[in-house]
Amino acid sequence: MSSSPYVPGEWARAFGLVSGFFFILCVVWSYLLRDPVLQDLHMQLLRLFTLDIGGPGMGVISFIAGLVITAVSGGVFGLLVAMSLNYFAQKRTGGTPVV
């Protein structure tokens, strides 16, 4: 058990899982859209947020790569959030920051 109130590893894992889940939900939603213009816009935004991998379409490899990129970036964001919360919690109480 860590002495910090917010365990960075748990936050990173949680943010990574949630962002990966939303990536899968977003891909499923893009295939459920009936309007071709909205589907194209949604896929362009999805490619933008996953660093434009996959080329012209969404195949198995680009789906896996997008899922990995999204989960890792969510994990890094969760790690940064937990470290920031620990820093400010320690700063508020006057203790030494635990990061």
Residue 98 lies in a domain: no
Is 25 among the domain residues? yes
- For residue 51, is it within any domain? yes
Question: What are the tens digits of pLDDT across the range 9-41?
Answer: 999 999 999 999 998 988 888 778 888 888 888
This model's pTM is above 0.85: no
Q: Quick one: tokens of 26?
A: 């977003």
Q: Is the residue at 33 inside a domain?
A: yes
Residue range(s) defining the domain that contains residue 55: 8-93
In the chain, the number of structural domains is 1
CB atoms within 10 A of CB 77: 15
* CA torsion, ordered 13, 46, 33, 26, to nearest 10 deg: 0
